[in-house]
Structures are given as structure tokens and as C-alpha cells.
Structure 1
Amino acid sequence: MVLTGLVLSQASHPPCSTSLPAAPPLSKPINPFKSPRLPSQIHAHLILTGAIHHSASLHRLSLSCNSLLRSLVNLNLPFTALLTFSELTQQWNFSPDRFTYPSLLKACAQSSSSFEGRTLHGQLLKLGLAGDSFVVGTLISMYASCSDPQSAMAVFNQTGGSGNQVIWSSIISGLAKNKYPEEALRLFLEMEETHVESDEVTLTSAVSACAELKDLAMAMKLSSAISKERRKSSAVDRAEEMFEEMPERDLAARVRSSNSIVMLETAVVDMYAKCGALDLAKKMFDEMPERNVVTWSAMISGLAQHGRGEEALALFRTMLEEGSVAPNPVTLSAALSACAQTGDLSSGTWIHAYIVRSGMSFTAGLRNSLVNMYAKCGSVGAACRTFEVAAAEKDLVSWNVIISGLAMNGQGAQALETFRQMQREGMKPDDVTFVAVLSACSHSGLVEEGRRHYGSMEEVYGIRPKLEHDGCMVDMLIRAGKVEEAEEFVRRMEGEPGREVLGALLSGYAVFGELRRGEVVARRLLREVQPAQDGSYVAYCNMLKGRGRRGEAKRIREMMEERGAKKIPGCSTIDVDGVVFEFFSGEGLGQELCELQS
């Protein structure tokens, strides 16, 4: 649909003077339909349904039409709002004003109608309204919603940084949503310097940007602003008794305020979790008077992602016991990840049954989480059955998960056959796929096939091998006893070998007793590659002790302690009546055995 009035030419588009990289233009066509009675019909319908609360006639056209357009947008009918505006201007000689455009720009944002939004911007420029603070915020939000942060920045820059809270909030939120977290945080700090007070919406955007960057130092800088906003929220809570005594209550405003602070606190939980500050995340989580499913999901996911699977599952069980919030696919995926991490097949199977009983639809992500859980818990058959049920819903991640699962369970031949099936079905592999494929070749001793797949990465698929792929190749050659060929492969590498490659080489030297060569690699690994893996220290220590050089091995152990590297002990788990027992190497078994026997 072409809006009546002015259609923007390229020359009349607002300038995009910003350092952000250019984004491709977006436009979603609108299917037009003609009806001269449309405005009257919609207006009458909105009055009858209570969507607008006055019966102004169409003779009071400006007020009535603005109310009509605003109501359509509030009812999430953006295409109807834009079409109605077109009909109003053509059939009813309606002249839009500064109160008309925010609704129209919101309609463009809702429908990602970039072309129509630019057309409206052109009208604003010609009417002299483009600098009106009432419309600038919605103009920025429109461009951001249409994935055009460059134009959003251009509009913001025209304010000279003197905008109000709404304008600042619009640009910070827009940049954060479009994956420009550094710019979003930079502007948030600028806003604070100009003494424009942030609200919970602005702060939520800044917190989300910080979470995207996993910047704990910035997270701590935001903590004072977060505390201030939460104190304001507490003051609002204390005013609730006064609110209850009011003769007319704006219940919608109260709900919006409550939702905003929950969103902020949830974003803070997510930020701390992604930054690795799990204790701070849990403290915020525990202090929240109200939690929604996103809050629970963020906390459970954060624990699972940082190796605290048992705590994640305990929190998931608490969520189910409280019963105030039902888990969604994101929550369940996080819980399944925790099951995979702890090897808790019993809980993973229960979650699978819960999904079926609840009638929840199996999203691709949820099904992939199930396949991953079954594979990492060693139930290869269940993983394959769950994968096959997906049929047409299989995406690239689905194939990567099942191929990796088969490879890690020693089913190299089946993993490679699955990879060939994936190719037959027209799915193009990515770099993650080839890590799984090369790992399968390594564990199955298929050196020639591994070489062929490695060579095809760049030649056939245009995928440049990464250090993970190089590490798989070195590991494969070492396992096959081709130590000299592994060394030659490392020498031919274009870049510096990382810890994946050097670690695989060191492990090979340890297996074949190549102490002299192993010492060279070990010293380089411990000196140049940070953080060195604990396995590197252990392999070097074992090599030294095997040659009777216990004093040197002791010094390496001391170096481990100085650098904070810890040897991860071997661990086995056993599930007894739904309770998972863990046994670590070097620990006494007396108490655990008594518990099992009882």
C-alpha cells in the first residue's frame, strides 16, 4: 500500500550519519481494500465494543480520527490502522497533526512496515513536525522495530542529545534489541551524564545489553541505578493502600508498573547469570516478591550453563512444587540441559513424560534438548527415536546434536551414516557439524575419511577450519599412532595453534612416551596459552613421573595451585529411586554406601 500524500524518494530519506554498519531495507506490503464507509464502520464498532469511550461524530474529524487510529493500534491492528488513515485522507479530507503520527508510526513498528514508516517520516519533514518531541521517540522506535538502527541513530543525533526520557529510552532500547549492546550502553552512560533520569524500561534495556556482552564490570556499575529503581518500586508498593482507597483506580497503570519492575529484576537475574555472577543472580532471584516464567527460566538456565546442574534441577523442582508458574519450553530446555550435565536420565525421562502429558507442543529447541539429554546420558536408542519422530521439523541444530551424540557414545559409523543422510536430505552442514564428524572419525579410527571431510570443508562448503577442527585432526592422527604426521599438520597450520591443538598433541606424546617432544609442547602450552587446561598439567605431570622425575612433577603441581588450576576428579553417578548419588575418585565411600544400603 502506498500512503496518500507524499511518497519518499531516496533523496528525501533522512540521512543515516552513524558508524553502525548498514542494514538491508525492509518492507512488508499491505493488501489494500477499498471501502468509503470503512472509517465510519470501524468507529461505530469501537464505540459499541467500548474500545473508545466517547461518541464524537465524524464532524469533529481530527479528535475522532486520532482516537480511531490510536484504538486500532492498541487493538494490535496495524494494517487496518494504516489503511484507515489512507482512506480518511482520501475520502474524508482528514488533515493529520502531531497527535496522529505517533499512532501511525507504532502501526509501522508493529507490522515492520519500513517503506510506510519512511513515507510518514517524509510527511513529518514537510509538515515541520519531525523534530517534535512527541513524535521523535515513536519515530526512533519505528526504525528500530524495522531492523534499521542506522536511521534510528540518525533521528536521535538530530536531537543533539537533548531529548527527554522517552527519546533516550527509545534509542537505547532500539540499539539493544538490534544487537548493538556497546552502543546501547554508551548512550545509557551519556544519558546519566546529562542528568536525564532513567526509568525501569531504559534500565532494562541497558541491563540486557550488559548481559549480551557478559560484562561483569559494567554490571556492577549498573547496580546503583538498579538499586535506586527498586527503591522507587518499593515506594510504589507502600502506596498501594492509598491506591485501594481511591474512588477511581487506574488498574491498567498499576499492572504496567508491576510488570515493568518484574521485567527489570528478571533482566538483572539474567545479566548476573550470563556474567557468571551466579550468587548475585540467586540473591536477586530470592529477593523478588513476584516472579514470572521468564524469571525462573533465566535462573535455571544460568545455573545449568555454569556447571551447577544439580542446583538447576533442585530449583526446577521447587518451581513445580510452588505451582504458581508453569514451565514453558525454555524452562524445560534448561532443565534438560541440567539433566544432560549431571547424567540424570531419570529426571530427563520424567520431563519428557511431563511435556507429553501437558500437551505442550514440541518446539525444535525442546526436541533438540531431549535428544542431547538422552545422548549425554548414554541412552542412544532413545536419542535416535526422539530424533526420528521430528520428521520434517529437523533443523541444522537437530542434525548436529544427533551426530555429536552418536560420536560421543562411540557410534562413529552410525554418526557418519547420519551425516550422509543429512546431506541426502539437502541440509547444508556448518562448522559445528564438522566438529562432530571429525570427532566421529577420530574415535572410530577412520583417518582417510577424516582427511576427506576436513578437506571438503573449505573446498566444497566454503567453511574455513577453526582451531576446534584442527584439534580434532591432531587427535585423530595421534590416536592412529601417526605422531610425526600430527606434528607436520601442526607445522603447516597458518595461525598459532591454540590449546585445543597443543593439548591433543601433548596427550599423544604422553600416550606414546615421547617425553622430549612432550616437554617442548607442555612448556609452550603452560607459558603461552592462557588459561591452560588442567589436563595439560596432569598429562605433563604423568609423563615426568613415568620417567622417575618426581621432583619436577611436584613443581608442576605447585604451579597448578598458584595459577588456580584444579584437577577435575573422575566422577560416576548412580540413580536410586529418583535420587542421584555422585562418587568422586579419591573420596571415601563409607557414608554413601550406607545410604545406598538403607
Structure 2
Amino acid sequence: MNSSKQFCLSLLSKCKTLKSTKQVQAYVHKTGLDTDPLVAGKLLLHCAISISDALDYARRLFLHFPNPDVFMYNALIRGLAESETPQNSLLTFIEMRRKSVFLPDSFSFAFILKGVANYRSLRDGVQLHCQALCHGLDTHLFVGTTLISLYAECGRVDFAKQVFEEMSEPNVVTWNATVTACFRCMDVEGAEGLFSQMPFRNLTSWNVMLAGYTKAGEVQLARQAFSDMPIKDDVSWSTMVVGFAHNGLFDEAFGFFRELHRERIKPSEVSLTSVLSACADAGAFEFGKILHGFIEKAGFLQIISVNNALMDAYSKCGNVGMARLVFQSMTVRRSIVSWTSMLAGLEMHGHGDEAVQLFHEMEESGIRPDGITFISLLYACSHAGLIEQGCAYFHKMKNSYSVEPAMEHYGCMVDLYGRAGRLQKAYEFVCQMPISPNAIIWRTLLGACSFHGNIELAKLVKERLSELDPNNSGDHVLLSNIYAVAGKWRDVATVRRSMTDRRIQKSPGWSMIEVDKVMCSFVAGERQNKITEEAYDKLTEIMSKLRVEVGYVPEVRSVLHDIEGEEKENSVSRHSEKLAVAFGIAKLPKGRTIRIVKNLRVCGDCHSMMKLISKVYRIEIVVRDRSRFHLFKDGFCSCRDYW
């Protein structure tokens, strides 16, 4: 290799941006090396794979080569397969078969199969499998392993196993891929059977089992496998933290992280972002603060993903001020994720004007917003009642930034109109959508009908929902409550009877609160234990005080009319968020903000009671429900009584 060619390749390997890559390309062209297959292929590969925003440039570059070789085709297919539009990788593969004199090799098939797996087309996958068979590459280790993953993505574990069985000498990567395929298709027994037969296992094999068990909800089996592991790495610990958190076992998840620390294993970026994600899900503010201190001392604040995870954790734990402080203190260049995370935090807490201001700062900084950014921005406008601005941003998204509206963006607009009480406009908007509205769109409109008491439109919307998702318990309960508030008890009975006939059960409500760095959970109507007894005793005292001092009367309009008044009051008093706030008042130091996470929407009575508690007890209460954050202070709520 001559020195000029070597110099070019060395320069190319150091390029981190499209701008610097173009400078190298100019030098390549000037020196006449653009006709050299190796240099041209490496340049194309670098644009297609190594530079995040250079795939379109790679496609244009590819067109300049009159006779691209198989390496060039493979580079472009690989880049397209891993892009947001993996379908285009198949078009390039087809073009290669038609125009090129070169036959596809094992890399060609592996890359294109990965692309088909990413858009989950069983039909295309089977056809490519047949082509690989014709070229004698179907049992090639690289191709066969990718075929196994493809069939798993398409839900055909039987096909995946068949490919595996036809391979003469599968290596450990192939075994691991097949075990993963079983877990992906919820075949836990099949995965266990293969794992027990493996002639050799590596650390990845054990980690596959941990991830598979936790994703299947088999946390005890995961715990046993973790205990049996001969060695563990950071991925093992991170898998246990994330897996237990995703199964709602937050104390156990935090316990694994503490144990990791005791074992003097230095946590990585992955484990830190994992445990911060668990804090965000659980609303574990105090534990999050401890992690923040550790991250600062260990020097992890130089890692952008850790900063982003820390912001997200603070926002979801109900302290957007701390999230803003992390954002403003970042010493590394903020990414699109950083700006969007901060925007989402402001949106969740109803700070619409601040979110709009932040979006303008983002534009001025040169960061180009994407579809996720606009979802947060539109919801921020919705929560703040900024109708005209929300509509303007919806149009700006496509006209100025070429972001095609997705279902989530249309949902934001329905929410925007619904919150403002413009229900007919919202309904017309849904009917005129260029894509078919899904159940979430109609459910958003049903929620608006519930809040504004529009029974006729609610019935119409519920009919549409019944066609798309007939067994959703929340829709039935919401319609039942609309009828109950309006005093239409015959209609309430009809809806409830329909639920009974279809065996549709309402999801039980639960709430969590962090006390002494331990997550305490309360479930509506659960059997009493030592913790719930203390919560009930304190709740009785609180309700008595509210009755005397501010005349509190439980709101029971939506409770079934065929039970006695005292029973109705008992029904709403057992709601999990009331028990959680009572337990917080009993156990937390006086003046400490009470932070609660709830899986369902807060009901009207709980919302009213929280406002009164914040006023009478002079405390701040932060509740994160399924819809948004509520900050109760001095008898008012940040949601302005719309949620």
C-alpha cells in the first residue's frame, strides 16, 4: 500500500463528522485515489456506518461509482439496514442482483437479513432464505445466525430452531442467538432446554438467560441464574437492575445496584443509566439524589447519556428544578436527547411557556428538532392551553423541518383541542386525519368528553373504540363514570353488565411513595398489613380534620348508586393515593415534599382532597399519575383541574 493511500485511510478513520469526511473526500479526489476500490469502498462504508447523519450522502456518493463492487454494495446495504428505513436495504440488494456482475456473498445476505428483521417481514425473509440456500450460504455461520434472529423477530421460533438444527457446527454466538429467539417468542422452556444442552457457554450466554427471564417476568428464575453465574460483568448487574425495575420490584432493583457498589465493581455508563431509569420509573427521588452525588464524585458527568438519564430521573421524580439545574450545568455539548429530555420534563409539569422558550433556545443553538421533540412541545402547549401556538408548531414541524406527522403528533393535537373544550373541532380533526386513527386517539377524545361532560359525543367515540379495542377496561369505566356523573344510572348498569358479560376486569390502582429510601406500595382495597394499618389510621385522622376545618365531603358522584352513602364514602376513601399521602404525612419529616407515583389517573375526589391537604397541612404534594404531574400547594393544583 503506497503512502498516499495509507495516509487517506488513516485520516478517514479519525473523521467524526460529515464535514471532516467531505474534506478527506476532496483530498482523495485531488490525488486521484477515488478510482481505487479500497479507498472508495472505505469512504463509502465510513459515511454509511460511522457518521450518524451521513447515510444520504453515502447514497449520493454511491451513484458516482460506475461499477460498484460487492464491498460497496454491502456497505450501503448495511447502512440502510440499520437506518430508520430498513426497507430501502432490500431495494439496494435487488439492484445489486440486477445490475452487478458480482454475486452476493455471506456479508450481503447477513446485512440484508438484518434489514428485513428490522422491519419484520416474514415474506421477504423467507424469500431471502431461499436465495441464500441457492447460493449455498444458508448454513454459513454468519448467515445462519442472522436468519435465526430474523425468524425470532417475526415470531417464528419453529423456523429459527429448524435453521439452527440444520447448521453442522454452530458456535456459541449461534447458540446464544437461538436461546434469545426462544425468549423473544416467549418459549421459556425451549430456551432453558437449549441452555442446558450448550456444549460451551460464555458470559453472554448467562446474560441472555438473565435478560430473557426478566423480560418474561420470571424474576425468581433470573435471581437463581444470577446466583449460579461463575462470573458476572457490568451487563449482568445492569440486566438485574433493569429487569427487576421493569417488573415493579424497585427495592430489589436498587438492592442489586447497592450490592454492585459493595462488590467494588465500577459501574459503567450502562448500569448508571439503568439504575437512573429505575429511579425515574419508581419516582425514587431520594435514591436519585444519592446517585447524583456518586456520579459527580466518580466523574461520570462528562458522559452525555448519564446527564440525560439524570435529567429524566429528576423530572419523573417530580423535581423539574433539579432537572433544569443538571441541564444548565452540563459541560459536554448537549445532544438532541438532552434538549428533548428537558423539554419533556417541562411538559410533564405543565410549564408550557418555559417549554416554548427552551424550544427557541434549541433552535438558536443549531440543534435540529426531530419528531420526538415535537411530541413534547405539542403536549407542553396542550397542558398550558397554548392552542394557537400548538397549531403553529404542528404546521411548522412539516413545513420547516420536514418531519412527517406520526400518530403521536395527531394525538397531541386531539389532546390540545380536547383540553380547551373544543370537542367538535377535535372530532373533526380525527375524522380528517390522513392516517387511520388508532384506539389511543379515540381514547384521548373520550377523556376530553368525560371532563367536559359531553355524553352524546362520548357515546359516538366509545362506538369507534369498541371496534378497535373492545375489551379495554379503562374505556368502559370512563364511559360508566360519564353516565354516573350525569345521573344516568340505567346506562351505568348497562356498561357494567357489559363488562361482566365479557369478563372485563378493571385494573387495580396502586400508588408508591419513597420513605427512608424504601419504596412503599399501596393497592386499592388490599388486605391490611402493618404498613397499611398505619396508613388507614392516619387517613381517618386526616379526613376528620378536613371535615371539621374546611368542610370536606367525599365526592361520590361516580360511585355506583345502588350502595349506601357511607359505603360510597368508604369506597373512595380506600383509593391508593390517599393511603400513600397519609403514610407520607405519618412517616416523613414535617415540611418534606410528599412524592407519589400512581399507575392510573387520579380520580376527582382524590384530586380535591389533595388540594385541601396541601392547604390545611401546609405541605407540597407531587403526584405523578398516568396522565401527568400534579403539584398541590396552598390548595391549588398545577394542572388547573384538568388532567
Normalised to the residue count of structure 2, the TM-score between the two structures is 0.59
Query: How far apart in 2 are the matches of 1:577 and 1:145?
Result: 51
Relative to structure 1, the CA distance from residue 530 to residue 203 in structure 2 (aligned partners, 3 Å threshold; closer, same or farther) is: farther
**CA gap 1:553/1:309 in 2 versus in 1, 3 angstroms:** farther
Asked if 1:448 corresponds to 2:391, the answer is: no
Aligned-partner residue type, residue 438 of structure 2: G
1:590 to 527, 530, 533: 533
Contact residue 2 and residue 116 of structure 1 kept, 8 A: no
- C-alpha distance after superposition, 1:40-69 (max 9, x if no partner): xxxxxxxxxxxxxxxxxxxxxxxxxxxxxx
Distance 1:184 1:388 in 2: 48
Q: 2:297 aligns with which of 346, 357, 374?
A: 357
Q: State the AA in 2 paired with 1:215.
A: C
| Separation in structure 2 between the aligned mates of residue 443 and residue 206 of structure 1, nearest angstrom | 46
**259, 269, 273: which one aligns with 1:333:** 273
Cα distance in 2 between the residues matched to 1:294 and 1:279: 18
Paired AA for residue 484 in structure 1: Q
1:334 deviates by: 1.2
Q: Partner residue of 1:35?
A: none
Instruction: Kindly report which structure 2 residues correspond to 1:197-236, keeping only aligned pairs within 5 A, or say none.
Output: 197-208=169-180, 214-217=184-187, 220-229=189-198, 232=199
Contact 1:216 1:272 in 2 (8 A): no
Paired residue for 2:208? 267
Check the 8 A contact 1:172/1:205 in 2, yes or no. Answer: no
2:475 aligned residue (517, 531, 536)? 536
Alignment correspondent of 2:9: 30
Map 1:354-503 onto structure 2 (within 5 A).
354-360=294-300, 362-503=302-443
Shift of 1:457: 1.8
Matches within 5 A, 1:50-65: none
Q: How far apart are the structure 2 equivalents of 1:457 and 1:597?
A: 48
1:525 correspondence with 2:497? no
Alignment check: 8 A CA contact 1:175 1:181 kept: no
Deviations along 1:321-377, whole A, 9 cap, x unmatched?
4x1633222111111111111111110111111122233454222111100000111
Alpha carbons 1:153, 1:171 under 8 Å: kept: no
Instruction: Please give the alpha-carbon distance, in whole angstroms, between the structure 2 residues aligned to 1:326 and 1:116.
Output: 46
Q: Contact conserved, 2:415 with 2:448, CA < 8 A, in 1?
A: yes
**Aligned partners of 1:538, 1:412: CA distance in 2, in Å?**
30
Aligned AA for 2:231? E
What's 2:259 paired with? 318
1:44-98 deviation digits (Å, cap 9, x = unpaired):
xxxxxxxxxxxxxxxxxxxxxxxxxxxxxxxxxxxxxxxxxxxxxxxxxxxxxxx
Please state if 1:303 is matched with 2:303: no
AA at the equivalent of 1:581: C
Tell me by how many angstroms 1:441 deviates. 0.4
Name the aligned partner's letter for residue 590 of structure 1.
Answer: E
Distance 1:264 1:377 in 2: 35
Q: Which residue of structure 1 aligns with residue 485 of structure 2?
A: 546
| Unmatched runs of 5 consecutive residues or more in structure 1 | 8-26, 33-107, 122-138, 234-259
Alpha-carbon deviation of 1:216? Answer: 1.8
Distance between the aligned counterparts of 2:357 and 2:185, measured in 1?
42
CA offset at residue 287 of structure 1?
3.7
Distance change in 2, residues 1:546/1:183 (3 Å): closer
Please give the residue correspondences for 1:150-165 in structure 2 after superposition, counting only pairs within 5 Å.
160=136
Asked if 2 retains the 8 angstrom alpha-carbon contact of 1:175 and 1:183, the reply is: no
Letter in 2 for 1:548: G
Contact kept, 8 Å, 2:147 with 2:163, in 1: the verdict is: no
Deviation at 1:297, TM superposition (A): 1.0
In the TM superposition, residue 306 of structure 1 has moved relative to its aligned partner by 4.6
Q: Which amino acid aligns with 1:225?
A: L
Provide closer, same or farther for how the CA distance between residues 284 and 343 of structure 1 changes in structure 2, counting only shifts above 3 A.
Answer: same
Cα-to-partner distance string for 1:494-549 (whole Å, 9 max, x where unaligned): 232212211111111112221122122123313422663x4323211101222334
Mapped to 1, the partners of 2:330 and 2:452 lie a distance apart of: 44
**Partner deviation per Cα, 1:218-245 (whole Å, 9 max, x = no partner):** x65444222211xx45xxxxxxxxxxxx
Per-residue deviation at 1:194? 2.7
What does residue 50 of structure 1 align with? none
**Number of aligned pairs?**
442
Q: Cα 1:360–1:184, aligned 2, differ >3 Å: closer, same or farther? A: farther
Distance 1:568 1:29 in 2: 63
Gap change, CA 1:280 and 1:578, over 3 Å in 2: closer
Aligned identity (percent) is 27
- Deviation of the 1:480 alpha carbon: 0.9
Q: For the Cα contact (< 8 Å) 2:414–2:445, is it kept in 1? A: yes
Alignment deviations for residues 551-572 of structure 1 (CA, whole Å, 9 cap, x no partner): 5435544655755553352625
Are the aligned partners of 1:541 and 1:557 in contact in 2 as well (CA < 8 Å)? yes
**CA separation of 1:387/1:208 partners in 2, compared to 1, >3 Å: closer, same or farther?**
farther
| Alignment gaps of 5+ in structure 2 | 12-44, 51-67, 75-104, 117-127, 539-582, 589-643
Q: Find the residue that maps to 2:448 and give its secondary structure.
A: helix
CA distance in 1, matches of 2:524, 2:153: 44
Alignment of 1:54-93 (within 5 A): none
Q: CA deviation at 1:302?
A: 2.5
Q: Structure 1-normalised TM-score?
A: 0.63
**Alpha-carbon distance in structure 1 between the residues aligned to 2:275 and 2:451:** 38
1-structure distance, mates of 2:138, 2:378:
56
* 1:55 alignment counterpart: none
Contact 1:542 1:553 in 2 (8 A): yes
Instruction: State how far apart, in whole Å, the 2-side matches of 1:222 and 1:411 are.
Output: 48
Higher alpha-carbon deviation: 467-476 or 588-597: 588-597
For the pair shown, the structure with the greater C-alpha radius of gyration is 1
Alpha-carbon contact 1:336-1:373 (below 8 Å) kept? yes
2:243 & 2:374 partners in 1: Cα distance? 28
Sort the Cα spacing of 1:387 and 1:175 in 2 relative to 1 into closer, same or farther, 3 A: farther
C-alpha contact 2:311 2:341 (8 A) present in aligned 1: yes
**Conserved? CA contact 1:269–1:295, under 8 Å:** yes
**Pair 1:392–1:423, CA change in 2 (3 A):** farther
In the superposition, relative to structure 1, how do residues 216 and 572 fare at CA in structure 2: closer, same or farther (>3 Å)?
Answer: closer
The amino acid across from 1:429 in the alignment is P
Within 1, Cα distance between the matches of 2:392 and 2:328?
A: 28
Q: How many Å separate the matches in 2 of 1:149 and 1:545?
A: 51
Instruction: Give 2:533's aligned amino acid.
Output: G
Cα distance in structure 2, aligned partners of 1:143 and 1:153: 9
| Alignment-mate amino acid for residue 463 of structure 1 | V
1:109-128 correspondence to structure 2 within 5 Å: none
Secondary structure of 1:440's aligned partner: helix
